[in-house]
């Protein structure tokens, strides 16, 4: 059995001080203000004016929500390791038909591979990509892959749990 977890993580003193404060309701004015500020900061971080949604869940919870709410029948999962494979398992367990791209271990998904697969499978509704596949230490070329997905007019689901704040697109 292998356990892929993060940590332990040292906290800054400022974070520890905040954690000592009393919690407030998610319906309170304090929370509404915090929520708005967080969304604005995320928009800056992600360099977007598009709407940003906060999703309180694990990465797997996001995967299931995306699959259940955005895919009727068929999706493509790009698999480089454990987290790409998890997207496959979540999609199948939710009754979806799943196509995959699985290059040899240690190799990224390339734009050409993705373009070829989407050209052959026009009925795919969404594409799932793990940006930073921590289980094998690989970063997929997200910006170029996103351009291919957009060219084909498909939805794009990105697992950026370990990359959003620290790895360029």
Give 96-111 pLDDT, tens digit per residue.
999 999 999 999 999 9
Q: How far are the Cα atoms of 66, 109, 130, 152 from residue 145, in angstroms, in the given order? A: 19, 8, 11, 11
* Residues 108 and 127 occupy one common structural domain: yes
C-alpha span between 31 and 24 (Å, rounded): 7
Residue 2 has pLDDT above 70, yes or no: no
* Residues 113 and 152 occupy one common structural domain: yes
Question: What integer pLDDT is reported at residue 90 of this predicted model?
Answer: 97
Total count of domains within the chain: 2
Of 8, 39, 54, at which residue does a domain stop? Answer: 54
Q: Which domain holds residue 42?
A: 24-54
Question: What integer pLDDT is reported at residue 4 of this predicted model?
Answer: 63
> What is the percent of the chain with per-residue pLDDT over 70, rounded to a whole number?
95
* Residues 66 and 143 occupy one common structural domain: yes
Residue 78 lies in a domain: yes
């Amino acid at each position: 059995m292998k356990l892929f977890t993060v940590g332990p993580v040292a906290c800054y003193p400022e974070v520890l001080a905040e954690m000592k404060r009393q919690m407030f309701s998610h319906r309170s004015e304090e929370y509404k203000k915090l929520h708005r500020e967080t969304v604005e900061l995320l928009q800056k971080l992600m360099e977007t004016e598009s709407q940003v949604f906060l999703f309180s869940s694990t990465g797997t919870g996001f995967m299931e929500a995306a699959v259940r709410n955005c895919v009727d029948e068929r999706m493509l999962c790009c698999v480089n390791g454990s987290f790409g494979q998890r997207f496959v398992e979540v999609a199948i367990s939710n009754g979806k038909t799943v196509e995959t791209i699985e290059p040899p271990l240690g190799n990224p998904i390339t734009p050409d591979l993705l373009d070829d697969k989407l050209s052959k499978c026009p009925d795919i509704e969404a594409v799932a990509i793990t940006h930073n596949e921590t289980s094998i230490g690989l970063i997929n070329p997200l910006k170029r892959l996103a351009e291919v997905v957009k060219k084909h007019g498909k939805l794009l689901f990105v697992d950026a749990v370990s990359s959003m704040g620290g790895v360029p697109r």
